[in-house]
Structure 1
Amino acid sequence: VIIVVVFSVILLYFIVSKYLSPLAAIQTGLTSFFDFINHKTKNVSTIEVKSNDEFGQISNAINENILATKRGLEQDNQAVKESVETVSVVEGGNLTARITANPRNPQLIELKNVLNKLLDVLQARVGSDMNAIHKIFEEYKSLDFRNKLENASGSVELTTNALGDEIVKMLKQSSDFANALANESGKLQTAVQSLTTSSNSQAQSLEETAAALEEITSSMQNVSVKT
């Protein structure tokens, strides 16, 4: 009887161990999955259970979620990576850069949309190329107003071009005024020279007339003395 009982216990142990063995694989798979989503590991393994019983169905369901989560995290990582690259491009002066990767996380989707909207506003208010704007401002500081921003669309770009046009217009008006003033000054100088010449001529004529009158007066006095 004792032998039968011992045999039965051993048999029951092996049966239970075999029946519950998939639990160890499930536990290992879940541990690997949790390490993955907690960024402790970069890879995750699926649960290897070949049975078609309840444990097999549970394992398949868990595996589907593991793979879906892995794909989602990869999408999110790609979106975050592209976001960082986009910020770097914007820091370089290009305001046309946008985030195109589609994350799976709803919060990351919202963040992507907010960042892209912010870049839309910046491009509309400022322009497309901060480097080109800075270059034009540096030229303006050097009093060089020959160049303009090409394909200007942002408010700052349009205002910069308008400012350059107004300054060029003012400089042209100042140049025209200076030329006109120089022309009038030349005319005035010519008139003064002419007046001076005329005055000198008249003065000489008056001197000659005075001399002639003096000579006539002297002659008349001589005639009076003789008579």
Structure 2
Amino acid sequence: MSIIRRSPPGSKVHQVSSESNISNIEPENPLNYVGRRQKRPRNEDQRKGIDDSLKDELLSMLTNWKKDQDLILSKLCSDIAELKQQNANIQSTNIEMERALTFISTQYEDMNTKIINLDRERKENHNYILSLENRLEDVQKKLKSTVIEFRNLPTPAQNIKQETQQDLCDLVQKICDVLNVNFHPSEIKDICRIKIKAGVSTVITELTSVLSKNKILSGAKEFNKININSKLSSKSIGLSSSTIPINIYIYI
């Protein structure tokens, strides 16, 4: 008897299709012991958009902040530059003022020195002038020590010739004769008549010595003392009928 051999029954073969995304394939016979995980909805695009928006906003804020800082820095630099320029101008002005003050100080010192020198010269000149005045006064005193005045001596009539120094010397000689004074015209060094006011004149007589002056003054004083009622006058020396007092003084 022949033995017939049969092939064993074949098992059903499951074909697996090719799928690029294996994770999306549902298993045909899910295992009971494996729980299926529920997938959460993914918001990656929305989150990415929010992140990009935040980035843009932050970048915009940083950009604006940088612009503001740049403006502030630029203004600060400008202010610093302006302050530096002002400081330079102030320093330049201070230097000029210092030079001006130095010049003024030098000028002041020079002027002060000149004033001191002028004041010293003024004092020296003042002292010199005082010395000259004293010397002049001494000279005048010496000159006046021999000078006397004959006041109220009548002037000659207008129809008579012009009066000369000799006429005045003769007039003084006549007075000395009346006073009983031993006098000679040669004792007269200089003589002149000066008019003080209308109708009044004085004969200034410079004598050769103080002795001559003193004896004339003493003679006049003695004459007036003796002749109280008829003191020395124009009538005493026979110059006029009217009585005009004649006074003899030390010339001052």
TM interval, shorter chain, is: 0.3 to 0.5
Structure with the higher fraction of residues in helix conformation = 1
- TM score, norm. by length of structure 2: 0.38
Which structure has the larger Rg over C-alpha atoms?
A: 2
Higher relative contact order, chain-length normalized (CA < 8 Å, sep 6+)? 2
Structure with the higher fraction of residues in strand conformation = 2
- TM score, norm. by length of structure 1: 0.42
